[in-house]
Amino acid sequence: MSTEILMPALSPTMTEGNLSKWLIKKGDTVKAGDLIAEIETDKATMEVEAVDEGVVLDLLFKEGEANIPVNKAIAIIGDPNEKVELKKEAPIEKVNEEKKIEKNIETKIETKKDNIIDTTSPKIEEDRNLSSEEITMRQALRDTMAEEMRKDNKVFILGEEVAEYQGAYKVTQGLLQEFGKERVLDTPISEHGFTGLAVGAAFKGLRPILEFMTFNFSMQAIDQIINSAAKTLYMSGGQINCPIVFRGPNGAAAQVAAQHSQDFSSWYSQVPGLKVIAPSTPYNAKGLLRSAISDPNPVIFLENEILYGLKGPVNNDINFSIPIGKANIEKEGKDLTIVTYSIMLQKSKEAALRLKEEYNLDTEIIDLQTLRPLDTETILNSVKKTNRLITVEESWPFGSVGSEIANIVQRDAFDYLDSPVIKVNSADVPMPYALSLEKLYLPQVDDIIDAAKKVSYIK
């Protein structure tokens, strides 16, 4: 009996991998535990071990082949005397429970990827300097950091695994090689200490970019972010500013559970003295990160792990920036307004397509891009036009960004509203681990459609 060796998912968000190197060749006998290949994932290059035994009957990909989907057969092992029959499509279903779970993850990631089909917004289309090549969000972020570091020697980056490891999510890939260890610094796992250090450096005139491996770890350092970075300009009567960018992935990834999945958008947006940005595409990530690095104030830059692999065109002008505090009207519409940000933009766009097809509703989508300062003008103008509003975000419901928007809209556009504002948020519980519960926890396209029907009084 022959067995297919499948492209493994080596990280929660990996959807495809590159075959860097074969460590076996046709005809070799392999035992469980033998190293068979080196696979480059979205995060790192890793060695893969065999879990079955047999003779290598065939290698299905050559060294160097890229973008091989997870769960695709890459090699076949088995009894050399047996005839090999190659399955065309579906990977072999494993009976093993563990494999089933892996498969589920894969399906889930695929679903998420499907949601991320359309990355072009009208504004991008109007951009004459748009690159013909599409790049990922992580490349867009890295390129922008590198461009700003070339321009200004005072810009440096620090964080856990940003240098030699090339970034836990590869966002800082290549920066150490270009800028050296004086400007790309690996820190110990010591958020409170190195955040305070970076804040001190910013007080003294440097322009640190501080990467949190995830914003969940920023809670270890939140005193320095709020009490030191955000308040000192005010407390010093305008003398001491803090030009620093705190960036890293925020919110849920895939099945990393309660302590690694929290969305901090409303926490930081509550604080005067901070600016808060949440990009949704490679295009706006590039423009917004440049503005963040150039800003003389502390900026919280909330990325999303699942979006790191999202591809799209960008503007490669090294001075291209998107102003902080400006929302983007992602799609114009007349029947209702969806206000959203970060990863929920993609789900909102999918919902808008279905709302048009199934209910003939013409949805306007506003991508906030910046959460603080909030572009209330764009929101209010839209509500005055459509008279109906839903907010869609990943954060917990209590006191979320949507809560504040609902407050502003009822205060400043009360007479324009034809229905109550509805917020779509994550469930008001810690993030569960189980895939099924995780899906329930996060806002889904159906939740957005339900909310849209409610504000439109469609049964």
Nearer to another protein, 192 or 385 (CB): 192
**Contact region with another protein (CB under 8 A), list: 125-133, 189-197, 252-260, 435-443:** 189-197
CA distance linking residue 379 with residue 253, whole number of Å: 28
Assess 182 for contact with another protein (CB under 8 A). Answer: yes
Should residue 233 be labelled a site residue for another protein when binding is judged by CB under 8 A? yes
Residue nearer to another protein on the CB measure, 252 or 277: 277
The DSSP annotation for 30-66 comes to E-TT-EEEEEE-SS-EEEEE-SS-EEEEEE-S-TT--
Tokens 């300009």 locate to 233
Would you put residue 416 in left (φ > 0), alpha (ψ -120 to 50) or beta?
alpha
Write out the two tokens for 126.
Answer: 């109007």
Asked whether position 308 contacts another protein by CB under 8 A, the answer is no
Nearest approach in angstroms of CB 161 to another protein is 15
Q: Per rule CB under 8 A, is residue 261 in the interface with another protein?
A: no
Query: Which one among 84, 92, 235, 429 touches another protein, defined by CB under 8 A?
Result: 235
CB of 280 to another protein, least distance (A): 24
**Shortest Å, Cβ 145 to another protein:** 17
For residues 229 and 244, is the Cβ–Cβ distance under 8 A?
yes
Binder of another protein out of 174, 193, 397, 432 (CB under 8 A): 193
Burial class (CB in 10 A: 0-12, 13-18, 19+), 224: buried
Closest approach of Cβ 335 to another protein, in Å?
Answer: 37
Q: Is 204 in the site for another protein (CB under 8 A)?
A: yes
184 binds another protein (CB under 8 A): no
Distance separating alpha carbons of residues 177 and 115, to the nearest angstrom: 35
Choose which of 275, 286, 290, 347 interacts with another protein (CB under 8 A): 275
Q: Is 238 in the site for another protein (CB under 8 A)?
A: yes
21: nearest Cα among 10, 35, 32, 34: 35
Task: For residue 384, report the phi and psi dihedrals to the nearest 5 degrees.
Answer: -65, -25
**CA 339, CA 317: separation in Å to the nearest integer?**
29
Contact residues for another protein, defined by CB under 8 A: 156, 182, 185, 187-188, 190, 192-206, 223-224, 227-228, 232-241, 272-273, 275, 296-297
Q: Please identify every residue annotated as catalytic.
A: 191, 260
